[in-house]
Amino acid sequence: MAVNYFGSLYCIRAVLPAMEQQRQGDIVLISSGAGLIGIYGYTPYSPSKFALRGLAESLRGELKLMKINVSIVYPPDTDTPQLEEENKTKPVETKMITGTAKTWRAEKVAFEIVQGINKKSFTITPGIEMTLLSRFHSLLAPGINWYMDRIVAKNS
């Protein structure tokens, strides 16, 4: 929470007065696929990314009339040093759950984010997997939970 939620909140608080004065700006919050659905092994991480969604949704409405656009990004696993380190200690169950998704290059994720900002999109979801998860989470959740529970049960 200190890094993902409060770090984002404090950055917004630092730049918002200038944006409000200019009556323009773009705020982009970086969540995660793990901010759309809780994933085994991400208990410390997922809630902080879910919290960003609530922040983005609240700010979107409050800042819209000031022409300050708010976006939230749900990137897939991205080939970064952070993911490389994370994979060293990730539980086997988590590796099996996340291993079915394609890992994206950071440059491609950045390109998708810039496109979303230019379109003034609230939700930016690079790739079909994140798009489907974002749009159909409530419908997909029972099946996804069943799938994850089976993986965890096999490895317990």
Residue with token string 């959740």: 141
Known active-site residue 108: no
Gap between the Cα atoms of 91 and 39, Å rounded: 11
Known active-site residue 45: yes
Known active-site residue 90: no
Task: List the structure tokens of 41.
Answer: 């092994």
* From 46, 48, 49, 134, active-site residue: 49
* From 5, 8, 31, 40, active-site residue: 31
Q: Where are the beta strands (DSSP E) in the chain?
A: 25-30, 68-73, 78-79, 104-105, 123-124
With vertex at residue 141, the alpha carbon angle to CA 140 and CA 146, rounded to the nearest 5 degrees, is: 105
The residues annotated as belonging to the active site are 31, 45, 49
